Amino acid sequence: MNRIDRLGLGLLIALLPAGVAAQQGPPLRQVRGIVVDAESGSALAGVRVAIRPGSHRTESGGDGRFTIAAAPGDTLVVRAGGYRAGFHVVTPGDTVLRIGLTGAPTMLADLVVTASRRAQRAGESAIAVTRIAAAEIEGAAAASLDQVIATVPGLAILPNAPTGANLAIRGIDGARVLVLIDGEPTVGAMLENRDLSRISTVAADHIEVVKGPMSSLYGSDALGGVVNIITRDPDGPLALDGRVHVGSMGRRDAQLTAQAGGPVSFRITGAWREQARVASSSWSDEALSRVWDMRATGRIAATPTLAIRTDVNVLRERQRWRVSSDGFNGFNDNTGAAGWAELRWQRGQSTARSRLYLERYEHLFRQARAPRPLAIDTTPSQSEWMAKASLGWSGLLGGQTWDAGLDLSHRAIESPGKVAGIVSDDMAEGYLQMGITKGDLLITPAARLSWNSRWGEAVTPNLAAAWTASDRLRIRGGVGRGYRGPSFKELLWDFPNPTAGYILSGNPDLRPERSWQVSGGVTWAVGGGVSLDAEAYHNNLRDLIELADFGFDAPSGLIRYSARNVSRAITQGVELGLRWTRRTTDLTIGYNFLDTEDRSTGEPLTRRARHSGRVRGAWNTPNNRMGLAATVAITGTAPFRQLDGARAEQGTFVSGDVQGRVDLTERLGIVLGVDNVLDQRPTNWVGIYGRRMYAGLRAGWTP
**β-strands 96-101, 29-37 pairing:** parallel
- Amino acid (1-letter code) at residue 438: K
Q: Which helix (H) or strand (E) holds 20?
A: helix 3-24
**Average per-residue pLDDT in the chain?**
90
| 624-642: average pLDDT | 94
- Amino acid (1-letter code) at residue 121: R
Select from 155, 128, 152 the least CA-distant residue to 140. Answer: 152
User: How far apart are alpha carbons 48 and 201 in whole angstroms?
Assistant: 35
- The 3 state secondary structure assigned to 76-145 is EEEECCCECCEEEECCCCCCEEEEEECECCCCCCCEECCCCCCCEEHHHCCCCCEEECHHHHHHHCCCEH
Q: What is the DSSP string of 218-243?
A: H-TTTTSEEEEEEEPPP-SSSEEEEE
User: How far apart are alpha carbons 95 and 85 in whole angstroms?
Assistant: 21
- Note the pLDDT of residue 106: 55
Question: What is the DSSP secondary structure assignment for residue 528, as one 8-state letter?
Answer: T
- Amino acid (1-letter code) at residue 284: S
For 454-565, where are the alpha helices, taking DSSP H only? 488-492
Select from 273, 328, 155 the least CA-distant residue to 696. Answer: 273
* Predicted TM-score of the model (pTM): 0.89
- Note the pLDDT of residue 55: 66
Cβ 489 vs Cβ 418: under 8 Å: yes
Which residues are 307's β-sheet partners? 301, 344
Which residues are 449's β-sheet partners? 430, 459
Cβ 261 vs Cβ 239: under 8 Å: no
User: How far apart are alpha carbons 653 and 197 in whole angstroms?
Assistant: 20
591 pLDDT above the threshold of 60? yes
User: How far apart are alpha carbons 122 and 110 in whole angstroms?
Assistant: 6
User: How far apart are alpha carbons 314 and 76 in whole angstroms?
Assistant: 50
621 pLDDT above the threshold of 90? yes
| 158-171: average pLDDT | 89
Which CA distances in Å does 644 have to 501, 640, 647?
A: 16, 11, 9
E-strand spans in 398-440? Answer: 400-414, 422-438
Select from 396, 285, 416, 287 the least CA-distant residue to 350. Answer: 396
User: How far apart are alpha carbons 164 and 278 in whole angstroms?
Assistant: 7
Which residues are 334's β-sheet partners? 317, 363
- Note the pLDDT of residue 9: 39
pLDDT in tens, 484-501: 999 999 999 988 888 778
Of 384 and 97, the one with more pLDDT = 384
b/e map 22-55, b = 16+ CB within 10 Å? eeeeeebeebebbbbbeeeeebbbbbbbbbeeee
How does residue 11 score in pLDDT terms, banded at 50, 70 and 90?
very low
Distance of CA 316 to the CA centre of its chain: 23
pLDDT in tens, 671-690: 999 999 999 999 999 888 88
Question: What is the DSSP secondary structure assignment for residue 381, as one 8-state letter?
Answer: P
How does residue 457 score in pLDDT terms, banded at 50, 70 and 90?
very high
130 pLDDT above the threshold of 70? yes
Q: Which residues contact 158 (CB under 8 A, 6 or more apart)?
A: 165, 166, 167, 168, 173, 174, 607
Within 10 A of 161 (CB to CB), how many other CB atoms are there? 10
| 345-372: average pLDDT | 94
Distance of CA 252 to the CA centre of its chain: 28
- Amino acid (1-letter code) at residue 560: R
Question: What is the DSSP secondary structure assignment for residue 490, as one 8-state letter?
Answer: H
Instruction: Please give the radius of gyration of the chain, using alpha carbons only, rounded to the nearest integer.
Output: 29
